[in-house]
A and B are shown apart, each in its own frame.
Chain A
Amino acid sequence: MSHFVLDARYLLCPMPVIRTQNRIAELAPGDTLEVQATDPGALHDIPAWCRVHGHEILETRRDGNNIVITVRVIS
């Protein structure tokens, strides 16, 4: 089980969720992925994408323009 970081900053939606989806496809169950983004749309899209695919959101943080969403890969 490993931790990975995805830099999706300065990308406009829906690119952050697409990058998240493509990265998660390469990870194993139990791995965690920390997604960094700046488009506020990511706050909606990434959790919604995780819900429909059954992945778990561990944390969502917003610090000014910087957004960090941590996902645990379920399957």
Chain B
Amino acid sequence: MSIPRSAAVSAPDPAPAAGTPRKAVALISGGLDSMLAAKVMLEQGIHVEGINFYTGFCVEGHTHAIRNHEHAKPKRNNALWTAEQLGIKLHIIEVIEEYKDVVINPKHGYGANLNPCLDCKGFMVRKAREWMEKNGFDFIITGEVLGQRPMSQRRDTMPVVARESGAFDRLLRPLCAKLLPETLPEREGWVDRSKLLDFNGRSRKPQMRLAAQYGFTDYAQPAGGCCFLTNEQYSHKLTDLWTTRGTKQYEIDDIMLLKVGRHLRPRPNFKLIVGRDEGENNFLNGYRKRFTHLHATSHQGPLVLIDGTASEDDLELAARLTARFGKGREAETVTLTVTDAAGNSRELKVAPIPANDIPPEWYL
């Protein structure tokens, strides 16, 4: 699709007052690339502030803190940490509601899992453009690298992001700008194109070299990116949620709970969410007033939430499974308490289900 030149090429702005630098808003994920892109701009004397979006699917934040074994590590918000290393301000924008449309109806479809990377990048750059306009900034930068991601960071999709976000030539990708057409900040001489970079492809080596050059030694390199939607198992659970409910919708609590516990669906009408350790049990405990839940009283064991509607038969199966995941798994009978969302409790005595009787397909 061709773009009308008037829309694609911005008119230059009047020069700022002498001594006032041009201002860029940088998309900061908390990963290395966006950190380097911002640093490249700072080195050119640009005033940079960061923007970070909270979609609900972020791997950042509380998810690190839930599981016990991760308590030992110092917990930090990587985007804030990055901003602090760079000495820039960071604005964190909550986009949970608006983001639903990106996940549910991605115009450009999904990647390998439920990751709508191209729509997502267009959405985030559009939000950054709105922020830029509201706050009197001049352009937007991202840490995108040509060929780095199979969907959103390709030669043919990068212009799609620029166009659909409405950022057009005010979107500069410092790490691969030399491989792309000139943008407004380059044309106007706000930044020196010759000092921008030409990173290309999936290799991380150029980034690591540049990081070393800037003296960045401790940076986040999350293996699956910073989004749960790129995770196969998470996407499988989200697909299951949509399929069994018969509607492609979600609430924030739904997507939070998909990050936690072992999920088993023995019947189409209900699934179990089983805490895997004390941290997860505590997290699930916060939801107990909204779900029928079970826990063993005769033995130690997990807190289990029932998502869906369960018959008496279903409850017994749920109880046998709950017993299976506790210390009473080898006992003849385990006593459990079942409490409904209204708080009515009763006791059940069941035999733990043998491990071999749990079909693998129950595990989501």
For residue A29, CB closer than 8 A to chain B, the reply is no
Which of the residues A10, A40, A41 comes within 8 Å of B77, measured between beta carbons?
A41
Q: Which bracket fits the contact residues of B?
A: 20 to 34
Interfacial chain A residues near B77, Cβ < 8 Å:
13-14, 17, 41, 44-45, 48
Residue of A18, A45, A51 with highest tally of chain B CB at under 10 A: A45
| CB neighbors of B among A1-30 (8 A) | 10, 12-15, 17-18, 21
Interfacial chain B residues near A48, Cβ < 8 Å:
76-77, 80-81, 84
Q: Does B89 lie within 8 Å of A44, measured CB to CB?
A: no
Chain B interface, DSSP helix/strand/loop, else mixed: mixed
| CB neighbors of A among B66-99 (8 A) | 74-77, 80-81, 83-84, 87-94
| CA–CA, A14 and B93, complex, Å | 10
Interfacial chain A residues near B88, Cβ < 8 Å:
52
Looking across the interface, which residue of chain B has its beta carbon closest to that of A15?
B94
| CA–CA, A17 and B75, complex, Å | 14
- State how many angstroms separate the Cβ of A48 from the closest Cβ of chain B: 4
Looking across the interface, which residue of chain A has its beta carbon closest to that of B77?
A45
For residue B61, CB closer than 8 A to chain A, the reply is yes
Once A14-B54, A40-B75 are accepted as A-B contacts, the answer to whether A51 and B256 lie under 8 Å apart by CB is no
Which of the residues B58, B75, B90, B93 comes within 8 Å of A44, measured between beta carbons?
B75
Q: Does B80 lie within 8 Å of A21, measured CB to CB?
A: no
Q: Does A18 lie within 8 Å of B89, measured CB to CB?
A: no
Interfacial chain B residues near A41, Cβ < 8 Å:
61-62, 65, 75, 77
Chain A interface, DSSP helix/strand/loop, else mixed: helix
- State how many angstroms separate the Cβ of B25 from the closest Cβ of chain A: 14
Looking across the interface, which residue of chain B has its beta carbon closest to that of A51?
B84
Q: Does B83 lie within 8 Å of A52, measured CB to CB?
A: yes
Q: Does B54 lie within 8 Å of A52, measured CB to CB?
A: no
Which of the residues A10, A12, A21, A44 comes within 8 Å of B92, measured between beta carbons?
A21
For residue B33, CB closer than 8 A to chain A, the reply is no
For residue B138, CB closer than 8 A to chain A, the reply is no
- State how many angstroms separate the Cβ of A49 from the closest Cβ of chain B: 6
- State how many angstroms separate the Cβ of A22 from the closest Cβ of chain B: 8
> Apart from A13-B65, A52-B87, what are 13 other A-B pairs with CB-CB below 8 Å?
A10-B286, A13-B61, A13-B62, A14-B92, A15-B54, A17-B92, A18-B54, A21-B91, A40-B65, A40-B75, A41-B61, A48-B77, A48-B81
Q: Which residues of A contact B (CB under 8 A)?
A: 10, 12-15, 17-18, 21, 39-41, 44-45, 48-49, 51-53
Q: Which residues of B contact A (CB under 8 A)?
A: 54, 58, 60-62, 65, 74-77, 80-81, 83-84, 87-94, 256, 286
11 contacts between A and B (CB under 8 A): A12-B62, A13-B65, A14-B58, A14-B77, A18-B94, A39-B62, A44-B76, A48-B76, A48-B80, A52-B87, A52-B90
